[in-house]
Amino acid sequence: MNKNWRWLPAGIVPVVIVAAAVSGSAVAEAQPQLPAKTAQELLEFVATSSDDAYSGTVEQSSDLGLPDIGMATPPGGTSSSDPTSMALELLTGDHTAQVYVDGPDKARVQVLDQLAQRDVVVNTTDAWYYDSQSNEATHAVLPDQDAAKAELEAKLQQKAAEYPELQNVPRTPAELAQTFLARIDPSTEVAVDGTSRVAGRSAYQLLLTPEDPATLIGSIAVSVDAETGVPLSVTVQAKGQEDPAFTAGFSAVDFSTPDAGIFDFTPPAGATVTEAPTADEARAKLEAEGAPAETPEQPTVIGEDWSTIVELPAGSAGQLGLDLGDGEAAGMGEIMEIKPGMDPEEVAGAQALLQQALTEVDGGKALQTSLVSVLVTDDGRILAGAVGVDQLVAAAQQ
Amino acid sequence: MLSEVTVLFRRLRTWAMIGALALIPILIAVVVRVSSDGSASGRGPAFLNSITENGLFVSLTALTVAIPLFLPLTIGVVAGDTIAGEANLGTLRYLLVAPAGRIRLLLVKYAGAALFCFVATLTVVITGAIIGALLFPVGPVTLLSGDTVGIGGYFGRLLLLALYVTVSLMGLSAIGLFISTLTTIPVGAMAATAALAAVAQILGALPQLEWLHPWLFTNYWLGFADFLRQPIVWSSFIDNAVLQTGYIAVFGTLAYGRFSTKDILS
């Protein structure tokens, strides 16, 4: 009595599933045939895309060779309202976001967190930020773009009359691309690196390779949609790391104009709404308080192009709460900016992580990621750049 | 089919489980109501802080709490009992004496378990809405995106959400059905099914196993929040449906292979 054939479906189904998964990724890797374009044509093409309307899903992930910062801040942690840590979290973690764009002045980005969401809405006159977890909204009135543009035009005209050589300011997107290309040319090799498929669309691969040996950035690949010129994905490779250090790209994209209602935002009842000061108000406030007695020292810029190092003057480490001090007691404990209301456990956890990440170097302590290095010197200066720590140490000793 | 459903829903155990599920939103709502003065913001399960402003959020908080533990537990009991329970009672061979066929019996049993998934989810959602409306003010609901929908639109979304959770649990039901064909001891099948749900969630929480995560049947369990966004994000619903279909196919055929070749002795 042979009943074994009844097990047959149970054997076939997993094989079919694996085959489907494998062939699915194989289709995604197939390279489409597209008319050849030079790097310059491609850059011009990108510049023309700013008026386009589209929507889609963006996936972002990064591998900076750091301990996972997201693990230290629990979801809904108090630190999420701190703009610096939030920006850090947005840049370093893995995220999925819905993006809606209609021309240059309407956009909505929805960062989809588990059981939560953060929204940025920009329309012609207002900008909103809304965090569903804290139920807080921030509102800013945007300056009247037409007036601002007219003002800028008038200033340009005036300047142009003063300096005739400014007459050839780029006016068309193509000219803009030209200037862009001219600027990145000396230290960057720009090449078209074949084609690829991104979010189910054919795209050109634009590859920017810094020729500077000092920088940590290996290459930057930009996928440009073959039909519209909208950049679909950006991948940053770090030197000496096989996996990309940072990728952000569409996993799905739709080039139809999004519903206009998406760009309207009314804060929900019960939300805490903060009004951000307009540029004029901020200026007026600053003037009313009187200009500071002496302007703080400006950051110094060392080097150029890809291996640029930014040096913040002595004392800035203290201002940022990064005072290293002497001895163990002050040492690591003060690296984080500790604010009232922060959960002590959370602070301790984040500090432990920092302690792991920081290494002792000649004349200070350094944080090395695969893309960026930061050096806090013993005398309180901060140096940062897309270069190795040894370069920062050398720059600090000059 | 009808008789299977009536048997399932006539059992005291089924009602006890549904009652226990209904207790979750009631407990949450009463606790929040009693201690509504000093709630720590940003703590506790999602949506907890919104309850005092809008009672309709009780459903969502209860679902977030029920999905990782209570729903898989009850599904494990129902799905694990499907075949092993009949075998244990000695009724399986009588069922198969009737010219129904083993495939049909499997399908009917599975459909019963799936129906229980839907009823269980709806119980949590509806009890949550009712108790919330009784204890707290009710009004237009704020979605995760900061947009507001009316109560009618919200119930539409809740229904979709219940559907999503039901689909999420179908894979687990299929696993339970398969395990149930392996044994004649229903408790063993129930425990194994519930334990598998726990193991999958633990694996899903380990960042080192990130490559495995899209293959875990628990991966999209908390994705129901995508129905609370404006516009609704459908991609997780589709991904979830595809994943669960895969699990149903694999474990459904395994269950068929096992059940159709097995010698029924009890």
The pLDDT, as a whole number, for residue A323 is: 42
Q: Based on the domain organization, do A78 and A115 belong to the same domain? A: yes
Average pLDDT, chain B: 87
Indicate left, alpha or beta for A327 from its phi (over 0: left) and psi (-120 to 50: alpha). left
Q: Based on the domain organization, do A307 and A198 belong to the same domain? A: no
pLDDT band at A78 (very low <50, low <70, confident <90, very high): very low
Q: Which of A3, A14, A133 sits opposite B250 (nearest CB)?
A: A14
Q: Is the pLDDT of residue A167 over 60?
A: no
The residue with greater pLDDT, A95 or B25, is B25
Q: What SS3 state is found at B148?
A: strand
Q: Based on the domain organization, do A205 and A336 belong to the same domain? A: no
Identify whether B235 is part of a domain: yes
A5–chain B Cβ distance below 8 A for any pair: no
Structural domain span for residue B224: 2-31+44-261
Q: Based on the domain organization, do A95 and A180 belong to the same domain? A: yes
- Please answer yes or no on whether B257 and A10 come within 8 Å at the CB atom: yes
Identify whether B37 is part of a domain: no
Structural domain span for residue A306: 300-397
Q: Is the pLDDT of residue A23 over 70?
A: yes
- Cα nearest neighbour of B251 on chain A: A10
Letter string b/e over residues A75-98, b meaning 16 or more CB atoms within 10 A of that residue's CB? ebbbbbebeebbeebeebbebbbb
pLDDT per position as a tens digit, A192-232: 888 888 888 888 888 888 887 788 888 888 888 888 888 88
Identify whether B203 is part of a domain: yes
Which residue, chain included where needed, has tokens 């142009």?
A: A160
Note if the pTM is more than 0.80. no
Q: Is the pLDDT of residue A6 over 50?
A: yes
> Which residues of chain B are within 8 Å of residue A114 when distances are taken between CB atoms?
222, 225
> Which residues of chain A are within 8 Å of residue B231 when distances are taken between CB atoms?
98, 259, 262
Q: What is the ipTM of this complex?
A: 0.77
- Please answer yes or no on whether A14 and B142 come within 8 Å at the CB atom: no
- Is the peptide bond prior to B186 cis by the omega test (within 30 degrees of 0)? no
The pLDDT, as a whole number, for residue A336 is: 43
The pLDDT, as a whole number, for residue B113 is: 93
- Please answer yes or no on whether A10 and B254 come within 8 Å at the CB atom: yes
Number of domains in chain B: 1
Q: First vs last Cα of chain B: how many Å apart?
A: 22
Identify whether A32 is part of a domain: no
The residue with greater pLDDT, A75 or B186, is B186
Q: Based on the domain organization, do A236 and A350 belong to the same domain? A: no
The pLDDT, as a whole number, for residue A174 is: 57
> Which residues of chain B are within 8 Å of residue A12 when distances are taken between CB atoms?
253
pLDDT per position as a tens digit, B95-139: 877 766 788 889 999 999 999 999 999 999 999 999 999 988 888
Interface test with B, best of A25, A79, A115, A345 (most B CBs within 10 A): A115
Q: Based on the domain organization, do A193 and A319 belong to the same domain? A: no
- Please answer yes or no on whether B146 and A116 come within 8 Å at the CB atom: no
Q: Based on the domain organization, do A50 and A185 belong to the same domain? A: yes
- Cα nearest neighbour of A266 on chain B: B147
**How would you class B193 by CB atoms within 10 Å of its CB: exposed for 0-12, middle for 13-18, buried for 19 or more?**
buried
Q: Based on the domain organization, do A339 and A387 belong to the same domain? A: yes
Q: Closest Cα of chain B to A359: distance in Å?
A: 24
Identify whether B39 is part of a domain: no
Identify whether B233 is part of a domain: yes
pLDDT per position as a tens digit, A135-149: 888 888 877 666 767
Give the max Cα distance, chain A.
Answer: 101
The pLDDT, as a whole number, for residue A338 is: 45
- Cα nearest neighbour of A100 on chain B: B231
The pLDDT, as a whole number, for residue A165 is: 52
CA distance A187 to B224: 48
- Cα nearest neighbour of A109 on chain B: B145
CA distance A51 to A318: 44
The pLDDT, as a whole number, for residue B26 is: 92
% of chain B residues with pLDDT over 90? 43
Identify whether B221 is part of a domain: yes
CA distance A236 to A250: 15
CATH of the domain at A93: 2.50.20.10
The pLDDT, as a whole number, for residue A326 is: 36
CA distance B63 to B51: 13
Identify whether B36 is part of a domain: no
Identify whether A285 is part of a domain: no
The pLDDT, as a whole number, for residue A356 is: 65
Most confident range, picked from B34-38, B97-101, B169-173, B236-240: B169-173
Q: Based on the domain organization, do A126 and A262 belong to the same domain? A: yes
Identify whether A130 is part of a domain: yes
> Which residues of chain B are within 8 Å of residue A71 when distances are taken between CB atoms?
207
Q: Based on the domain organization, do A316 and A379 belong to the same domain? A: yes
What's the per-residue H, E or C state across chain A? CCCHHHHHHHHHHHHHHHHHHHHHHHHHHCCCCCCCCCHHHHHHHHHHHHHCEEEEEEEEEECCCCCCHHHHCCCCCHHHHCHHHHHHHHHHCCEEEEEEEECCCEEEEEEEECCEEEEEEECCCEEEEEECCCCEEEEEECCCHHHHHHHHHHHHHHHHHHCHHHHHCCCCHHHHHHHHHHHHCCCEEEEEEEEEEECCEEEEEEEEEECCCCECEEEEEEEEECCCCCEEEEEEEECCCCCCCEEEEEEEEECCCCCHHHHCCCCCCCCEEEECCCHHHHHHHHHHHCCCCCCCCCCEEECCHHHCEEEECCCHHHHCCCCCCCHHHHCHHHCCCCCCCCCHHHHHHHHHHHHHHEEEECCEEEEECCCCEEEEECCCCEEEECECHHHHHHHHHC
Average the pLDDT over A24-31 and give the result.
68
Q: Based on the domain organization, do A124 and A222 belong to the same domain? A: yes
CB of B110 closer than 8 Å to CB of B174: yes
pLDDT per position as a tens digit, A227-253: 888 888 888 888 878 888 888 888 888
Q: Is the pLDDT of residue A173 over 80?
A: no
Tokens of B49: 């802080």
Number of domains in chain A: 2
The last residue of a domain, from among A273, A288, A315: A273
The residue with greater pLDDT, A56 or B48, is A56
Average the pLDDT over A274-278 and give the result.
77
Q: Based on the domain organization, do A326 and A380 belong to the same domain? A: yes
pLDDT band at B189 (very low <50, low <70, confident <90, very high): very high
Identify whether B74 is part of a domain: yes
Average the pLDDT over A335-343 and give the result.
47
The pLDDT, as a whole number, for residue A322 is: 46
